């Protein structure tokens, strides 16, 4: 693991994630040992917009039981379980953070999806899978923490089959000025590596991808953050990210509203 990877791992580590989720499940009248992706949907989709973003992103792909998917930066495995549960596909997930993976492995077992979902420790810049292993590589809100975009996209390209799809939701810089910190992925510039839209598009092309869809998702993300703030849930991502989650999410919304950052939903094809 590189020094930068260790810094990112430390940023996302909040000990006791599973215990906090279990306590809220019990409070809400659920048996923690008998849960479903539907019950967990409020807490397990950790990216901007939550479950609805996952659904919108998945609808851009032709997924089915024969598809093999790699989720890079899988967190506690919510999107991986959603894809397996909804489409029947086989999903491997990798993440840098042991605390999140261990929580995700338990939740996957409790959901009865161990035969379709495997979550393991892994670095996006050094994937352990053979060349051309996957039909789809899936990524949500991850590259903000990755400085080496060429190395990351090179790994995605390597593990995808020819014609395979790369589905991603990511931020770029915007015209509105410097980012207001803290945000969910960074307390300061040391873990923030956003590029402009122009730079992102060039990086995709240089890595051997053809853009199929490049949607500005900012407006919907702003709306969904506002909805989450107006109707807070006990079973939400503050259990994973920490008690300062509302402040960081609020800054993220402000950054988008002021066009300091732009949120994109991207589908690309491996040449």
Instruction: Please give the biggest Cα pair distance in the chain.
Output: 51
What does the chain come to in residues? Answer: 271
* pLDDT at residue 269 greater than cutoff 90: yes
pLDDT at 215 (0 to 100): 98
Are the beta carbons of 70 and 138 closer than 8 angstroms?
yes
* pLDDT at residue 1 greater than cutoff 70: no
- The structure's pTM equals 0.95
* pLDDT at residue 261 greater than cutoff 80: yes
CA atoms of 147 and 257, how far apart (whole Å) = 25
CA atoms of 197 and 175, how far apart (whole Å) = 11
> Which stretches does DSSP call E strand in the chain?
68-72, 90-95, 117-121, 134-140, 160-173, 209-216, 261-270
pLDDT at 19 (0 to 100): 97
**Nearest Cα to Cα of residue 172 among 199, 146, 191:** 199
CA atoms of 221 and 208, how far apart (whole Å) = 29
CA atoms of 213 and 135, how far apart (whole Å) = 17
Q: Tokens for 119?
A: 């979550």
Pairing of strands 261-270, 209-216: antiparallel
240 pLDDT tier (thresholds 50, 70, 90): very high
Query: How open is the CA angle 217-221-225, to the nearest 5 degrees?
Result: 180
Pairing of strands 117-121, 134-140: unpaired
Residues paired with residue 139 on neighbouring β-strands, in sequence order = 72, 168
pLDDT digits (tens, 9 = 90+) for 189-237: 999 999 999 999 999 999 999 999 999 999 999 998 888 888 889 999 9
Report the Cα–Cα distance between both ends of the chain, in Å, rounded.
Answer: 30
pLDDT at 227 (0 to 100): 87
Displacement of CA 176 from its chain's centroid (Å):
25
Averaged confidence pLDDT in the chain:
96
- Domains of the chain from N-terminus onward: 3-270 (3.40.50.150)
Neighbour-count burial for 139-167, b at 16+ CB within 10 Å, e otherwise: bbbbbbbbeebeebbbbbbbbbeeebbbb
**Nearest Cα to Cα of residue 38 among 70, 87, 81, 77:** 81
């Amino acid at each position: 693991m590189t020094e930068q990877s260790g810094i990112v791992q430390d940023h996302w580590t909040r000990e006791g994630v599973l215990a906090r989720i279990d306590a809220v499940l019990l409070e809400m009248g659920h048996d923690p040992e008998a849960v479903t992706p539907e019950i967990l949907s409020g807490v397990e989709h950790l990216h901007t917009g939550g479950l609805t973003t996952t659904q919108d992103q998945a609808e851009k792909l032709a997924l089915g039981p024969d598809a093999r998917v790699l989720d890079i930066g899988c967190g506690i495995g919510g999107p991986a379980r959603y894809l397996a549960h909804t489409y029947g596909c086989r999903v491997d997930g990798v993440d840098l953070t042991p605390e999140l993976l261990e929580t995700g492995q338990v939740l996957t077992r409790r959901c009865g999806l161990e035969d379709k979902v495997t979550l393991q420790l892994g670095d996006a810049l050094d994937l352990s899978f053979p060349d051309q292993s996957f039909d789809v590589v899936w990524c949500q809100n991850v590259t903000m923490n990755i400085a080496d975009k060429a190395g990351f996209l090179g790994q995605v390209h390597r593990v995808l089959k020819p014609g395979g799809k790369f589905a991603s939701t990511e931020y770029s810089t915007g015209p509105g000025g410097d980012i207001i910190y803290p945000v969910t992925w960074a307390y300061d510039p040391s873990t923030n590596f956003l590029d402009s839209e122009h730079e992102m598009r060039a990086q995709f092309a240089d890595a051997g991808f053809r853009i199929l869809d490049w949607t500005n998702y900012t407006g919907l993300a702003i709306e969904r953050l506002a909805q989450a703030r107006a109707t807070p849930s006990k079973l939400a991502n503050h259990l994973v990210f920490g008690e300062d989650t509302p402040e960081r999410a609020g800054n993220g919304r402000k950054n988008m509203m002021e066009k300091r950052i732009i949120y994109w939903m991207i589908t690309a094809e491996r040449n």
